[in-house]
Structure 1
Amino acid sequence: MNSTVATQVTEVVLPGKVEASGLRMRTRDLPAPTAGQVTLRMDATGVSFAEQQMRRGKYYDQPPFPFVPGYDVVGTVTAVGPQGDVTLVGRRFAAVTKIGGWASSLQLDAADLVPVPDGVPAAEAETVVVNGITAWQMLHRSAKVPAGATIVVLGANGGVGSTLVQLARHAGITVIGTASPRHHDTVRELGAIPVDYRDPDMYERIRELAPDGVDAVFDHVGGAGLKDSWKLLRRGGTLVSYGTAATKDEDGNSQLPVLKSFARLALWNLLPNGKSARFYNFWAGKRRRLSTFRDRLREDLTQVLRLLADGALTAQVAAEYPLADAGAALALAESRTVAGKVVIVP
């Protein structure tokens, strides 16, 4: 049993290293799902930092051009493959896709679907899919920050950062969050103490707020500033690096900045000061144990979506754009002027 199924799909194509305005639209036939797959009608997708890096050809695991971007998606199942579970049809799910989400419909493995609670709008759920999993895993799996601790979140107004702040506050953790002054009110509303990231003395300002050091720093910037983040830690603290935004506009090998961070963090872990440093990789373990990876992803995203449904977590929707205006959505996300996540809807 399948619901009304589209026979064609409209999707956004990234043809090469182009400006955001260079994205292309195309329509093609939509094949029926194969065994183990479903067809998902896109209700919401969004712009992550990954797509911004992919546009430049700078993503660590860069897909070959041309391709359809879209790191995650929320949608409704319209068809299932042979011998599939027909009870999935008509239900809403979230999934991490890495690419392919910027499309009116797409095929996914049924095993990758995570149910979205009733009553949660698709655009709101979309803001906490890859961002929520990333934030939850860094906080509770990588750093294992306990209640009563103090942490620093760089980019507290961003998609991951704003979610991380809220998850930490819900867990009873004090948060110092960096952002531009225009977003300080938002950061305060999320429950963090704002610090201007453009202040040349930013790290000194943080030390004034936490003179004994902090329990964890979550750094998506990387580059030279990673050493300053490391110095903020007290003994026993953890630095979680999860990006290299500082090098996003640099030419050269897209993997080199990440590899440099790996090496630096590994060396720091050898120091006898009780601190630890980790590089968070969303896809770690997938190739070795796919079932374990899927179970962990489903468990963590279910926790985040439940908090969203219960009102403990507030979705940070920066703006909504129709699929046909994906280029404008990408440009806005890259402008660094918004708080939260830019969402794309049909």
Structure 2
Amino acid sequence: MGTTTVTTATEVVLPGKVEVAGLQIRTRTLPAPAAGQVVLSMDATGVSFAEQQMRLGKYFSQPPFPFVPGYDVVGTVTTTGPDVDPALAGRRFAAVTKVGSWASAQVLAAADLVAVPDGVSAAAAETVAVNGVTAWQMLHRNTTVRAGGTIVVLGANGGVGSTLAQLARHAGITVLGTASPRHHAALRELGVTPVDYHDPQMYRKLRELAPDGVDAVFDHVGGAGVADSWRLLRRGGTLVSYGTAASKDTEGNSQLPVLRLFARLALWNLLPNGKSARFYNFWAGKRRLNTFRARLREDLTQVLRLVESGVLRPQIAAEFPLSDAGAALALAESRTVAGKVVIVADPGRP
């Protein structure tokens, strides 16, 4: 395919701590890609828990307002800069950006692009861009759970949780997953044993299902309940904490819940019980940029191959056009959906 020059971009802007109706739309001129850069035209992006926290100013390392949110993107290269293979134009890639992807187009480093197989749709690839890497790395790089083991996935109906559950089942691991009862049938279809996360006896029921303890717990909630997650582990088990959802709607310093969690995990690692606790940080190791990029490319490529082969079933909760990003964010925040809310290009985009 030839190169199509994209000179402007429509962007969704988060101007400050606003309700979802307060998102703004703007159009700006894109700079020409510099050496090593491309222009990527968005085919699909999505709503992660990070954007929900950012709207409230509670994401641990978010930029100052105003900014364009959007943690990841799948798109088509339209323009290549100097020192970039022009054959990239017309091809589809995924990238993890942290911010900036709620836009019809953006300038990115070509080194951050990961090729999407032809047989995988943009929306399907979007569901595993950040969620798939997160799930893969937590399961295969942060733990050593083997086939025949048992894990607990809190929020197993969510974007990360549903992907993690499928990866674990593919590896021969038993999965106990928490979710609202409305999602239990879908979890059973994925091979997950569901437990109602609204039930005040949730942890007791998890213990009854695994009386000897579990090999790993994946906890995105944090807060006081993380201690109960720790107690579910057998000797040699691993707690992987990767969020503080419990503090999303609380007032106060957004960094304190994270810092308290870090301190608690560090303390537990000093205990002589054979268990370990880790905090998963997607961006860990980025100071060694080439190594970080190589690891991300390797892991996302593995996940995309599983999508292409049908082993991993993308969990798409709903699709919204970019101009209706506020409705997409509202649905994601409703906590009623299974999978990931996806944002796609507006109809009629050049």
- Partners in 1 of 2:85 and 2:159 — Cα distance? 33
Secondary structure of the corresponding residue to residue 26 of structure 2: strand
Gaps in structure 1 of 5+ consecutive residues: none
Q: CA deviation at 1:323?
A: 0.2
Paired residue secondary structure (2:175): strand
1:2: Cα distance to partner? 5.3
TM-score after normalising by structure 2: 0.98
Q: Quote the residue 2:336 is aligned against.
A: 337
Distance 2:230 2:201 in 1: 16
CA contact (8 A) 2:180 2:198 kept: yes
The aligned counterpart of 1:202 is: 202
Q: Does 1:238 align with 2:238?
A: yes
Q: Counterparts of 1:1-346 in structure 2 under 5 Å?
A: 3-287=3-287, 289-346=288-345
Amino acid at match of 2:297: R
> Residues 152 and 217 of structure 2 are in contact (CA less than 8 Å); yes or no, is this contact kept in structure 1?
yes
Structure 1 position 144, deviation (Å): 2.2
The separation in 2 between residues aligned to 1:307 and 1:119, in whole angstroms, is 11
Matches of 1:2 and 1:109, distance apart in 2: 20
Contact 1:176 1:195 in 2 (8 A): yes
> Do the aligned partners of 1:146 and 1:173 also contact (CA within 8 Å) in 2?
yes
CA displacement 1:50-81 (0-9 Å, x = unmatched):
00000000000021100001000000000111
The letter for the 1-side match of 2:245 is A
Q: 1:83 Cα shift?
A: 2.6
- Output the amino acid matched with 1:149: G
Looking at structure 1, the residues matched to 4 and 84 of structure 2 have their Cα atoms a distance apart, in angstroms, of 16
Q: Which 4+ residue blocks in structure 1 deviate beyond 3 angstroms?
A: none
Show CA shifts across 1:298-319 (max 9, x none): 0100000000000000000000
How many matched pairs? 345
| Deviation of the 1:255 alpha carbon | 1.1
- State the AA in 2 paired with 1:261: L
- Structure 1 residue identity aligned to 2:147: A
Is 2:71–2:96's contact at 8 Å kept on the other side of the alignment?
Answer: yes
Q: Distance in 2 between matches of 1:191 and 1:68?
A: 37
With 51-60 and 81-90 compared, the bigger mean Cα shift is at 81-90
Q: How far does residue 6 in structure 1 lie from its aligned partner after superposition?
A: 1.9
Q: Which shifted more, 2-11 or 327-336?
A: 2-11
Q: 1:72-117 CA distances to partner (integer Å, 9 max, x unpaired)?
A: 0000000111132101111100000000100000010000000000
Partner of residue 348, structure 2: none
**Over residues 244-287 of structure 1, what are the superposed CA-to-partner deviations in whole Å (9 max), with x where a residue is unaligned?**
00000111111111111110000001111000000000000102
Gap runs ≥5 in structure 2: 346-350
Identical aligned residues as a percent? 79
Can you list the C-alpha shifts for 1:150-178, whole angstroms capped at 9, x where unaligned? 00000000000000000000000000000
The RMSD of aligned alpha carbons is 0.8
Q: Partners in 1 of 2:293 and 2:77 — Cα distance? A: 19
Deviation sequence 1:219-263 (CA, Å, 0-9, x none) = 000000000000000000000000000000111111111111110
Segment drifting more, 195-204 vs 140-149: 140-149
Contact 2:238 2:278 in 1 (8 A): yes
SS at match of 2:176: strand
